[in-house]
Every structure is written in structure tokens, then in C-alpha cells.
Amino acid sequence: MLSAYLIQLADNALILGHRNSEWTGHGPVLEQDIALSNIALDLIGQSRNLYQLAASRMNTLSPEKEPVTEDDLAYLREAPDFKNVVLLEQPNGDWAKTILRQFYFSRFQLLQFRDLLNSKDADLAAIAEKSIKEIRYHVKWSSEWVCRLGDGTTESHTRMLNALEELNPLVAELFTTTDYELAAATGGWGTDPASLQPDWLQAVNATLQTATLPLYRDEKKPALLLSGKNGFHSEHLGFILAEMQFLQRAYPGCDW
Amino acid sequence: MPSHEQIFEDKIEREVRIEPKDWMPEDYRKLLIRQMSQHAHSEIVGMLPEGNWITRAPSLRRKATLIAKVQDEAGHGLYLYSATETLGITREETIDQLLSGKAKYSSIFNYPTLTWADIGAIGWLVDGAAIMNQVPLCRASFGPYARAMIRICKEESFHQRQGFEILLTLSRGSEAQKHMCQDAIDRWWWPAVMMFGPADESSPHSQKSMQWKIKRFSNDELRQKFIDVCAEQVKVLGMKLPDSKLQWNEETQHYDFGEINWEEFWNVVNGNGPCNKERLAARKKAHEDGAWVREAAAAYAAKKNHSSEIR
């Protein structure tokens, strides 16, 4: 259960980092190309720390098996084995959609990692401590952009409205609790995401209000049938993996 | 009283850096704007062939290193655009020249990256050639350019080592990996050799540039130095450079090498390289798709300034 929990955290970081890295070289202005690439780099760094920890726990549990590495976890699992939330595998769309996705997730990740600072697992707590400094910057950067775009021009405001319409239905999954998250929370090394929702809502809506955008309302609509955390993904993930895993799949067993 | 020209020539002679507020001949300014902006554009266009492999990098470590490398190039572009601005031309004007096709960038980036080994070959050969060109520029007579080059060279030599290390790993890998490695060297070698520009006798701007101490060595001198270094390094990889005439010459104490295909060089410079259209189209698309974002940021900044004035 611990490894499933760690892998979920790692998959979130990897998939969003991968998506952000698609912007590298194509950003709207040089400084922001650098900023978003930097966030991609932070997220991939976080995923590496988490996969390494998951691998070491798995290897301790099953010493009879061939040892697993960070790259086995990233490159040799199939789409249904990935546990990232569906929000993060969405195509980048325009700058507004990329910004809103980052803002929603970083706001969530900040609360989640703040709880993980108190994890009973000292290694996980250490990763949280290292990552939280980065996440604070991601929150600041993305919040500033939400304000700029929401309260910028008519066009940028409209684009933000479109982004809200596309992404809002995917937010609830962040706060639904899976079996392995419940076990992690009960065991004292993880956190139950449902408990983070009130703080998230307050923080997100404060920014949306400043940005003159409609507030996020937690309407009890029928739940989305997809559940990335349980391996039930949108079709987008398969294409991410096809691209990301291609060399490892085409030339098995090689060092790179 | 010495004239402006005399003071300028005297500073060049005594190796005193020319700074943006100093008087300088119009041709010196023009030559620098041309060279520095081309250099900045090369960094930015150069992000594309390597960025092409970020989403396919074969391990998490390689992925992170490649993102960091491409991001460094964006940073280099940024300092070079800023240094160019000190000569009295805005970043917008310089970028417009790139997008309209008026300004050039290094032709090497018009070649495609077809396999992962190309990322190694670019690091080793392309960054290697760039360093050969750029190290003497750290002593260029124009202060902001020289200072930008010092920072850039430090990062470039790190990139070059990373590139070589990618190839070294491939050269010690499976047969398919070795093949990939040799193939990338075969495709990148001659374009890298051409990066030093035309032979001295047909390089129109070289003479002025040497006289003003922007440039310190001729294209052919730097090219020879590059070939001498690579001919040795390729042995460590256990690979071959694709030149049957490459041979150590005891007399000159240099490697002799084969004929450069200048027809190909001019073809690529004049827009007929394998990826000229794609590279420029990608830059234009980023610029056009980003227009509303830049407008929104400007509108928001103006609003905030205005409201803070009222308060």
C-alpha cells in the first residue's frame, strides 16, 4: 500500500512535468518559457525522488525479485498501472489551460505536501520538505498568471473561462479517497485528500476572485466515471506513454 | 584633443573594453548588432532540434538533463538579446528580423534530430564547435558581449561533456546503440565542421571583425583546431569520423582533412536545408500564439500601475 501511495504521488509529478516540458522552446515569451521549463524540471525531480523511494521499499519487501529502479517504474508500466489524476494528463491547450491546470494542482500539492511533512515515514517527510519550497514558487507563479489572464484583456478573460469550463469537471478527482490513500492516512504516513478540500477551495477562490473569474463551486454533480488514481484514464495518457517510453520499449534492457 | 575615432582606436589597441555609452563607429555598432543578434537567434532556434527529444528521452535522468540544457539555451538567448539591446535596438525589433527572415541564425539547427544519439552528437560536436568559436569571444572588444560569453562558455562546456557522455554510453551499449552512435556522428560531423563559416578568403565580415578585435582567430584556424581535437576524442568512443582523408600530418602537426561541401553549406544558409521551414515556422507559431498572452500581461501591468497611482 505504501508503494502504491508513493507511486501515485510520483505519477502526478511525472505526468504534469512531462506535459509542461512540451512547452519548452514554444512558450509565449522567453522568460516564461524558462519559468515553465523550470517547473517541469522541479516536478520531474520530485517524481524521481518518489520513484526511487518506492523502488527501495519494493525491493526491501521482495528481496527475491529482480530489483526495481526509478526508470522501470516510469518507463515499463502500462497506462492502467499509472495512478496520476486525469486532470494532469490533459493536453496543454493554450497558455490559459496550462496555467489553470498548474494552479489547481500546485494549490492541491502544497496542502498535500504540507501534511506529508509530518509523515511517519522519515524519507517521505524529507522529500516533502525539499519539494515544498519548489511548490510554493509554483503556486505563486501560477496564481500571478491566473490574475494576469483573468483580469488582463477581454480575450485572455474569455480564454480563462474556457479553461475553467474544460478543467473544472476534472477537479473532484483530486479529493476522492482511494483505498491506498485511506490506508496511508490511517497508517500515519500519508494524507486523506478529502480532508484538504475546504482549504483548497478557500485558497483557489480567493485567487479566482482577484482574477475577476467565476468561483469554483463544488456542485455535487454525478462523479466523473474516469478515475486516474485507480488506473482508469482518459485516452490521452496512452499517447504520452507511447512517446515517453518508446526507446525503453524498442530497445529493451539497454543502458542509456 | 584626440577625436572620437582616435580614442576608440586607442582603446581597441590597448585592449580596453568598449562600453555601450562610449562613442563607436557606426559600422562597429552594425557589425555587433548583426553578430550578437544572430548569436541570440541561434540559441533560441537551437532549442528546437534538442527540445524535439525531451518527451522521448530514454531515462528520467536524461530527461531532466535535457530540459535543463534547453532551458540554459533560452537563458543564453536572453542575455544575448539584452546585451544587443545596449547597442540601441529592442528585443522586439531583433526578433522581428528573425521572424521575417531578414536575420540569420546558425545553419546547423536546420538539420534534423532523428535518433536519441543525435542529442549526444549535438552536445559533443555542435556545442564543441560553438565553444571553439566562443572562447575567444570572451575577450571581444565590446564589454557586454564579452561578459555574456564568459557565462555562456561555462555552461556550454558542461553541455559538451554531457553530450560526449551520452555517446560514450551508447558506444559501450548494444549493437543497435553503437550503430545509432556512429550514424549520428556520420550525419553531424560535416555540418559541425561547416559551423566555422566559409573559408577565410570568402568570409566578407571577417577582416573588419578581426581589426576591431571582436574576432580573434580566422574561421580556418578555429576549424583546424576543432578537427584536431575531435579526431582524438572520437578514438575514445571507438567510432570513426566520416572523412577518408582525415590523417595526422607530422609536418604541419595537424590533421589533414577532406573537401568541405560548400555547395551544401550555401544551400542551407539560403533556406534549402532539411528543416529551415520547420524551424522558422515553429518560432513564428510560438510568437503568434503568444501574442494574446503578452497583451494580457501588458494590460494587467498597466491596470495595476494605474490603480497604485490612484491609491
Helices (H), chain B: 4-13, 26-45, 47-51, 60-85, 91-99, 117-121, 127-134, 143-171, 175-194, 206-211, 219-237, 262-267, 276-289, 291-310
**Residues of chain A contacting residue B169, judged by C-beta atoms under 8 Å apart:** 255-256
Q: Do B285 and A26 touch (CB under 8 A)?
A: yes
- Please name the residue of chain B whose CA is at the shortest distance from the CA of residue A45: B64
pLDDT at B202 (0 to 100)? 78
**Confidence class of residue A1 from pLDDT cuts 50, 70 and 90?**
confident
| Chain A positions in Cβ-Cβ contact with residue B84 (cut-off 8 Å) | none
Q: What is the mean pLDDT of residues A66-73?
A: 96
Q: What is the pLDDT of residues A138-178, one digit of tens each?
A: 999 999 999 999 999 999 999 999 999 999 999 999 999 99
ipTM of the prediction = 0.96
Is B42 in contact with B105 (CB distance < 8 Å)?
A: yes
Domains in chain A, start-ordered, CATH in brackets? Answer: 2-250 (1.20.1260.10)
- Nearest-Cα distance to chain A for B154, in Å, is 19
Q: Which of A181, A32, A4, A193 lies closest to A102, judged by CA?
A: A32
Q: Is B259 buried (19+), middle (13-18) or exposed (0-12) by CB count in 10 A?
A: exposed
Is A75:A20 a contact under the CB 8 Å cutoff? no
Which residues from A are below 8 Å from B291, CB to CB? 28
Identify all chain A residues contacting B177, using CB atoms and an 8 Å cutoff: 251, 254
Q: What is the pLDDT of residue B200?
A: 79
Judge: B295–A246 Cβ closer than 8 Å, yes or no. no
- Closest partner CB to A28 (pick from B55, B177, B294): B294
Cell of B52: 524535439
- Examine the pLDDT at A222 and tell me if it is beyond 60: no
Note whether A203 and A24 are within 8 A (CB): no
Of A21, A29, A247, the CB nearest to B290: A29
pLDDT at A2 over 90: no
The model carries a pTM of: 0.95
